[in-house]
Amino acid sequence: MLHADVFTELVGQDEAVQTLRRAAAAAAALLAADAAARDPRVTVADPDLELGLDPDPDDPPPSAAAMTHAWIFTGPPGSGRSVAARALAAALQCVHGRGCGQCAGCHTTSAGTNADVRFVVPDGLSIGVGEMRALVLRAASTPSGGRWQVLVIEDADRLTEAAGNALLKAIEEPPPRTVFLLCTPSTHPDDISVTIRSRCRVVALRQPPAEAVASVLSGRDGVPAEMAAWAAAAAQGHVGRARRLARDPQARERRDAVLAVPRRLTGVGACFDAASALIEAAEAEAAAAVADIDATERAALQTALGAGGTGRGAAGAARGSAGQLKELERRQKSRATRAQRDALDRALVDLAGFYRDVLVVTLRAPVAPVHTDIAPLAEAAAGKWTAEATLRRLEAILTCREAIATNVKPKIAVEAMMLSLWRG
């Protein structure tokens, strides 16, 4: 039996985990083969046998089949795209070549401090070409630890066209020890370009079963079993959101407010009021999420620019710092916008879950409800609405999400959705 390692963080993804274990083992075999070429006394072990995996006689050698220089991790929100990418990055830096979770390579990668692993987690709405060119240039350098240079892009679907082209050139002509790990919702051209997709190996992740998420919450995080089961169902397989619901009373209060929306839609005026309340709640949640980061960044920049200085050059330094402070404000504003949209999208997913439950009751489908705590409300709604009307309401929420994703002003999109929910 394999001991706990960096891949145990991936919940309900057994097939993907085995793929990544093989890749890590093959990467270690490549390094060992390189060392053996320089020193004949070095022996190269079969990575499949070392990991306890069943070798397939029809498989090509591990170095040719299991490892490649570019990967794309896809899957629905909460499936663990970035977790999978970080786990593979840690395994590539593992001194044992398997992602043991105990060595310095695994620890520094997981903590984000490994000099040979760079994470791109965009604060704003996109990743620009300047940032991508700088990252690609650094990723092409020789690994300081002697293993691999790894570039992890956690939201590759936010690459601008120019940034995508810069990344494509690097993937087409990769340095010998550089690995690119990209995370996107899907391989659709709207998320990642076809040319980049064609040069990467795709690992498709699925929505983890609620039972697996609940098991993690109760077994690893110490959440009571009943709370874990409720949070896993309410989060619809999103591990991070399930953890927040189980631990944070404010997150549960925000969810309750969202699920009260269907009862509030009694007229046109109520629809606009509900839309305003939903937008304001998302803004408040986003502001609270980024406040500490913004304050820390501003204080750090002001200190670096000599804030509070009284010397002869203090006035000139203050004038020269205006441009840098303005750039920081621009980045923070972009991050706040992204946080607001993410918070609003979480609310819309919760709302969609309610109408999905109503449809399940109407059609007598043999599946478990998402929101078990408001099942009576879903049953009451099912008694009043037809399946077609419920489906139209569900489609209105999905349309709202798509509109916001294409930069329609959230207030306009949410108001239109509320009116559709009221009319049915």
Return the pLDDT at 311.
54
For residue 26, which amino acid is it?
A
Band of pLDDT at residue 39, cut at 50, 70 and 90: low
Query: Using alpha carbons only, what angle is made at residue 188 by residues 185 and 190, rounded to the nearest 5 degrees?
Result: 90
What CA–CA distances, in Å, run from 24 to 114, 116, 135?
A: 17, 16, 23
Average pLDDT over residues 93-103: 88
Question: Of all residues in the chain, what percent carry a pLDDT higher than 90?
Answer: 42
Cα–chain center distance at 369: 25
User: SS3 string of 51-78?
Assistant: HCCCCCCCCCCHHHHCCCCEEEEECCCC
Q: Which two tokens stand for residue 379?
A: 């049953």
3: pLDDT strictly greater than 90: no
Query: Using alpha carbons only, what angle is made at residue 86 by residues 129 and 73, rounded to the nearest 5 degrees?
Result: 70
Give the span between the Cα atoms of 50 and 114, in whole angstroms.
26
Give the span between the Cα atoms of 373 and 386, in whole angstroms.
22
For residue 9, which amino acid is it?
E
User: SS3 string of the chain?
Assistant: CCCCCHHHHCCCCHHHHHHHHHHHHHHHHHHHHHHHHHCCCCCCCCHHHHHCCCCCCCCCCHHHHCCCCEEEEECCCCCCHHHHHHHHHHHHHCCCCCCCCCCHHHHHHHHCCCCCEEEECCCCCCECHHHHHHHHHHHCCCCCCCCCEEEEECCHHHECHHHHHHHHHHHHCCCCCEEEEEEECCCCCCCCCHHHHHCCEEEECCCCCHHHHHHHHHHCCCCCHHHHHHHHHHCCCCHHHHHHHHHCHHHHHHHHHHHCHHHHCCCHHHHHHHHHHHHHHHHHHHHHHHHHHHHHHHHHHHHHCCCCCCCCCHHHHHHHCHHHHHHHHHHHHHHHHHHHHHHHHHHHHHHHHHHHHHHHHHHCCCCCCCCHHHHHHHHHHHHHCCHHHHHHHHHHHHHHHHHHHCCCCHHHHHHHHHHHHHHC
Return the pLDDT at 50.
45
Return the pLDDT at 60.
39
Please name the residues in contact with 397: beta carbons below 8 A apart, sequence gap of 6 or more.
348, 351, 352, 355, 417, 421
Give the span between the Cα atoms of 243 and 8, in whole angstroms.
16
Band of pLDDT at residue 329, cut at 50, 70 and 90: confident
Average pLDDT over residues 331-348: 83
Instruction: State the CB neighbour count (10 A cutoff) for residue 227.
Output: 16
* Global confidence as pTM: 0.73
What CA–CA distances, in Å, run from 122 to 146, 150, 239, 291?
A: 28, 17, 21, 17
Work out the end-to-end distance of the chain between its first and last CA atoms, rounded to an integer number of angstroms: 53
363-404, pLDDT tens digit by residue? 999 988 889 889 999 999 999 999 999 999 999 999 999 999
199: pLDDT strictly greater than 50: yes
Query: Using alpha carbons only, what angle is made at residue 31 by residues 26 and 37, rounded to the nearest 5 degrees?
Result: 120
Average pLDDT over residues 107-119: 91
275-304, pLDDT tens digit by residue? 999 998 888 888 877 777 777 777 777 777
Band of pLDDT at residue 176, cut at 50, 70 and 90: confident
Give the span between the Cα atoms of 7 and 10, in whole angstroms.
6
Band of pLDDT at residue 128, cut at 50, 70 and 90: confident
Band of pLDDT at residue 63, cut at 50, 70 and 90: very low
Average pLDDT over residues 67-80: 89
Contact between 184 and 156 under an 8 Å Cβ cutoff? The reply is: yes
